[in-house]
Amino acid sequence: MTRLTVIAGPTAVGKGTVVRYLLEHNPEILLSVSVTTRQPRVGEIDGVHYFFVSNEQFDQMITNNELLEYAVVHQSNRYGTPRKPVEEALKADKQIILEIDIQGARQVKDSMPEANLIFIAPPSLEELKRRLIGRGTESAEEIAIRLDTAEVEMASQSLFDHVVINEEVAQCAAEVLDLMKTS
Ligand code: 5GP
């Protein structure tokens, strides 16, 4: 059984919600907390949602080889996965999920081919647009950038070991869990 699961998919597909649901119902599964250079949003807690770091700190982590993967996402901020917690989880025989972008997923697959890559897809691109506009957290300009990224991301599905369509949260989480148990 693969213990390292990478979950990716286009912006606003609802992968964060699926992952939260999965963790709530399966507390033995760990979630990797990423580092990012973006500013915290209201309600986000350092060390819980992300480790919020400066550009200099991020550079230092790269130099020290502390990141398993990293990427610039949505043409703006940098995000990366701290290597140590992942290695520790795997050593302790625990399941760990990385919820990262597609560039990061590709890097993880290169360095850890045993990783199980799961792509969360929307029922359609139209539905994705509806979800992105509906959540109302991005400006019109950000929405346009994210939709551009989403189209590129949708084209990367073949890189993944599995594709799960997010019609509904519980169903999608159950399918992901099943893949985590059987892959
Ligand atoms: P947000 O800024 O909305 O929290 O996240 C934006 C994007 O960054 C999401 O698509 C998320 O998957 C991606 N992301 C979050 N953490 C990481 C990470 O550690 N590495 C990479 N490559 N992408 C990440």
pLDDT score recorded for residue 133: 87
Question: pLDDT of 57-112, one tens digit each?
Answer: 999 999 999 999 999 997 789 999 999 999 999 999 999 999 999 999 999 999 99
Find the CATH number of the domain harbouring 54.
3.40.50.300
Mutation to probe ligand 1, out of 72, 73, 135 (largest number of atoms < 8 A from CB): 73
Q: Model pTM? A: 0.92
DSSP string, 125-172: HHHHHHHHHHH--S-HHHHHHHHHHHHHHHTTGGGSSEEEE-SSHHHH
- Point out the ligand 1 atom lying closest to the alpha carbon of residue 49: 4
In this structure, the residues whose C-beta lies within 6 A of any atom of ligand 1 are: 11, 34, 38, 69, 71, 73, 79-81, 99-101, 103-104
Q: Which two tokens stand for residue 125?
A: 């691109």
Q: Which domain holds residue 46?
A: 4-182
Strand partners, 119: 8, 163
Counting every residue, how long is the chain? 183
* Mean pLDDT score across all residues of the chain: 94
Cα 79 to ligand 1 centroid, rounded to whole Å = 6
Residue 125 predicted with pLDDT over 90? no
Total structural domains in the chain? 1
Q: Are 69 and 109 in contact (CB under 8 A)?
A: no
